Amino acid sequence: MDLKDYKHTISDWALIFRNGLVDIPEKLDIHPDFLRDLSKIEFEETFRYLWHLFYQIYTDAAADPRLFGVSVDDIDNKIQGGPAGNILSHMKQLYLLFKSGDLQGGGLFVNTASIKKSHVKVLNTVLSYLSSYGFEYEGLDDGRVTSKVSNFIICYPDNPAVINVLYLVAKKAARIRPYIYSNNETGGNEYLFKTWNFRLIQGAFGEYEYNDTYIFFRDSLHKEEQKQFLDEFHKAMLARGYFIEHWPGRGPGHLSYFHKSIKEPYYFDVCEYNGHGMYVRLRIRNDEKCFDYIKNCPDRIKEEFKTSYYGCGNHESCKIPHKYTFEGVEVSKCACCGPGHEFEAHIEDIPHYINLVELSVKR
């Protein structure tokens, strides 16, 4: 898998989102709103169990997408988002099921009319694969949701608390608005559910204090040195007057910084490639203005300026190539898919990242 590509197979996307599962801290705070029917021990054990269940579902989807409704013809297709057959859409369906249903006798009561607008064709595939993980159903028509089924019940006989915890977490996610897009629409709830974010259960049902994309991205990191870098970089960005837009970016593991307006291209982007490293991407307008400065930079920065990059993957036909010559090397950078300069993240290089961008935009 080319981790720096914008398009991946469904198997690769499953692994990327598996890596996006938020680590649960050793000491887990749980608000009393979630403990009305379960003890703290029952809820915590079940919450952790579901993290491992999600991890296994993503793992199995990566190993054999056919189990999740993906045709043989589509297995090797590279996509930028998630079509109906993608495990990510299925996990969204799981979220929609539990946010739309109601608890009844230890199971989840689902009215089919309430989910008519939620990809019902995918629903039977979702129910089919969930049955492999311990879920059972009452009220289906020969194991399927058909026009004859007005409602049905989802159960988890081995541990009814699974239904309770999924229900409460989905309901909580549905009640908050973690992201505000540039057109003032809201969204992002499903991401908090699909990444099984522990912050959902720290506050009351009507409360959520972590509606900052910075926190969302930081929670997705699994290495302490990456979190330290992000903290220092974010602090430096805010001190220089840059800001982030409250949206989840172009996918998991991205954080973009703007200067004057979100209507303009962002200048800095921090990204994490599926557990394989953190990178900083810079939008450098005029490379020639940076050449004198680069002479005093570490070799890893000099080498990046000698390396061509094709974010769009079109080495021969990139529509917006950014070309220059540095130390006798002809370089081409893709400028149609975001910033063309990409560096492995080093805390000590943060001042260089800022200076390179700001030097290049000076008239």
DSSP count for the chain of H helices, then E strands? 11, 13
Contact 357, 282 (CB under 8 A): yes
User: What are the C-alpha distances in Å from 27 to residues 44, 207, 228?
Assistant: 10, 20, 21
Could you tell me which of 344, 312, 336 has the C-alpha nearest to residue 80?
A: 312
Strand ranges in the chain using DSSP code E only, listed in sequence order: 102-104, 107-111, 136-138, 151-155, 179-180, 186-187, 243-244, 254-258, 268-272, 278-282, 321-326, 329-334, 341-344
User: What are the C-alpha distances in Å from 53 to residues 63, 127, 161, 162, 178?
Assistant: 15, 15, 14, 10, 24
Per-residue pLDDT tens over the stretch 278-322: 999 999 888 899 999 999 999 999 999 988 876 665 556 566 667
Per-residue pLDDT tens over the stretch 61-118: 889 888 777 777 778 777 765 444 466 677 888 898 999 899 998 899 999 888 776 5
Q: Residue 144 pLDDT > 70, yes or no?
A: yes
pLDDT score, position 181: 45
pLDDT score, position 249: 46
| Cβ-based burial of 154 (10 A; exposed 0-12, middle 13-18, buried ≥19) | buried
What is the mean pLDDT of the segment spanning 267-286? 86
pLDDT score, position 182: 43
Per-residue pLDDT tens over the stretch 6-34: 677 888 888 888 888 999 999 999 999 99
Could you tell me which of 29, 57, 42 has the C-alpha nearest to residue 193?
A: 57
| Cβ-based burial of 75 (10 A; exposed 0-12, middle 13-18, buried ≥19) | middle
Return the SS3 of 332: strand
HSE, CB side, 13 Å, CA atoms: give it for residue 78.
9
- pLDDT category, 183, cuts 50, 70, 90? very low
Per-residue pLDDT tens over the stretch 219-232: 989 999 999 999 99
Contact 334, 315 (CB under 8 A): no
Write out the two tokens for 260: 């004057």
Could you tell me which of 243, 246, 270, 271 has the C-alpha nearest to residue 257?
A: 243
pTM: 0.84
